[in-house]
Amino acid sequence: MSDKPRKFKGGVHPNDSKALSSRKAIKEAPLFDSYKVIMHQNIGAPPELVVKKGDTVKKGGLLAKAGGFMSVPLHAPTSGTIKAIDKVPGPTGISVPCIEITSDGEDEWGSPFEPISDWQTADPAELKQRIWDAGIVGMGGAGFPVHVKLSPPEGKTIDTLIINGAECEPYLTADHRLMLEQAEEVVLGVAILVRILGLKTGVIGVENNKPDAIEALNKVAGKYNITVQSLPVNYPQGAERQLIYSITGREVPVGKLPMDVNCVVQNVATAAAVTEAVLKGQPSIERVTTVTGKPLVDPGNWKLRIGTPISKTIELAGGITEQPAKLLLGGPMMGIAQSSLDVTVMKNTSGVLLIAQDEVSQYTSEPCIRCGRCVDCCPMQILPATISQAVENKRFDWAEKLNVMACIECGSCSYSCPSHRPLNQQFKRAKVEIRAGLRKKG
């Protein structure tokens, strides 16, 4: 690791549009009448339901237990009654199982975990178990169970912990505000992760367009022997592979994981959640989310409980001044367009974004003009134009040979394409088709 970060290949520089919410302090959302908690909120196996209709629960009470090692438990966002075990639109548009809770208005905690105040001398296994019991997943978007990342298999040695504070996605400012307002909680969470991994230090990478956050983190980082690394602004700086290269110079091979280059990467929001689980005994039932976009009256950042309907987040932002063209969960580059306001906040919901009509042009996809812009900007150094041609011809075997599975779906190619070709969407389709083919063979 060097003091000067490295520049990864490719990348783009979209208008960040963060001014809408970057100066808005985090607000606590009020208690709502009901919550619909989506059951499967992690990569891996879904949790197993332990409640039924009519049961009463306390805030933080167990709703579903982990369904295996690659799974995490789910906890109640408030106290009340289980109204139904039903379905709700999921973020990908498919209806998914959910647990509907009618609030009793008391918001009464059940039996929270016992705080581990002596974390500096506690057994790392105990700290890791607490993170698992608290149901913490990667809150930057992927939803990967944190305890799994902290459990390298035999033969894998971790020597570097990197915390993602880049928040390179346009419009989103939740991580920025978290670093600025809760720097101590973020850095302390990093120190706990360092303790679990048996390291001496960890590094928090922050894009240099957030100098106030860098300053806030630096004020407390030394106390816990944590380093804060300023990074150049270059989307997708926050992607794991690009972040690892920028900070360490190590390249994660295609098909490999950060562990294969001795690294673990977590998000700043995840680090803050670790602090709450270890020092306060609180499970993962809420997160800071940016609710933003030109159509909103008052964009900002809110601490929202899991299960909060997206319709309620729009109300918190004062409603709309115009009919939006699109509603996205996440940012404009990697976010997923929604067709329903009944989708609810999950542990990895970093943003709710409304796109104005004048921000969306009615583009028509045109033939590729072989300009090479998509190749130049691709951070994974694959050949988007050629892969796109393979997908259009339903040659998914060809797309696989061209390394479409290495695509990180950052959207840089689609953003840069003068012919407005739906490259990112094509690559997502190709991955689905390839995985389906493998399942048939297997």
For 280-311, what is each residue's pLDDT tens digit? 999 999 999 999 999 999 999 999 999 999 99
Whole-number average pLDDT of the chain: 95
pLDDT level of residue 362 (50, 70, 90 thresholds): low
The domains found in the chain, sorted by start residue, are 114-280 (3.40.50.11540), 373-441 (no CATH)
Q: Which residue has the tokens 């983190």?
A: 217
- Whole-number pLDDT of residue 4: 82
> Do residues 429 and 394 make contact, with C-beta atoms less than 8 angstroms apart?
no
Give the mean pLDDT of 24-47. 97
List, for residues 207-223, the tens digit of each pLDDT value. 999 999 999 999 999 99
Give the mean pLDDT of 84-103. 95
Q: Which residue has the higher pLDDT, 171 or 439?
A: 171
CA neighbor of 172 nearest in space, from 350, 358, 299, 360? 350
Give the mean pLDDT of 166-180. 98
Distance CA 376, CA 413 (A): 9
- Whole-number pLDDT of residue 142: 80
Query: Residue 224: is its pLDDT beyond 90?
Result: yes
List, for residues 248-272, the tens digit of each pLDDT value. 999 999 889 999 999 999 999 999 9
Whether the CA torsion 254, 259, 261, 266 is positive or negative: it is positive
Residue 202: CB partners within 8 Å, gap ≥ 6? 160, 161, 162, 163, 190, 191, 193, 194, 226, 227
- Whole-number pLDDT of residue 442: 65
List, for residues 2-14, the tens digit of each pLDDT value. 568 899 999 999 9
pLDDT level of residue 43 (50, 70, 90 thresholds): very high
Whether the CA torsion 23, 15, 206, 194 is positive or negative: it is positive
pLDDT level of residue 439 (50, 70, 90 thresholds): confident
Give the mean pLDDT of 326-342. 94
The percent of residues above 90 in pLDDT, for the chain, comes to 93
Distance CA 332, CA 169 (A): 7
pLDDT level of residue 68 (50, 70, 90 thresholds): very high
Give the mean pLDDT of 158-180. 98
List, for residues 104-130, the tens digit of each pLDDT value. 999 999 988 999 999 999 999 999 999
Query: Residue 331: is its pLDDT beyond 70?
Result: yes
Query: Residue 441: is its pLDDT beyond 90?
Result: no
Residue 150: CB partners within 8 Å, gap ≥ 6? 128, 131, 193, 196, 197, 264
Query: Residue 1: is its pLDDT beyond 70?
Result: no
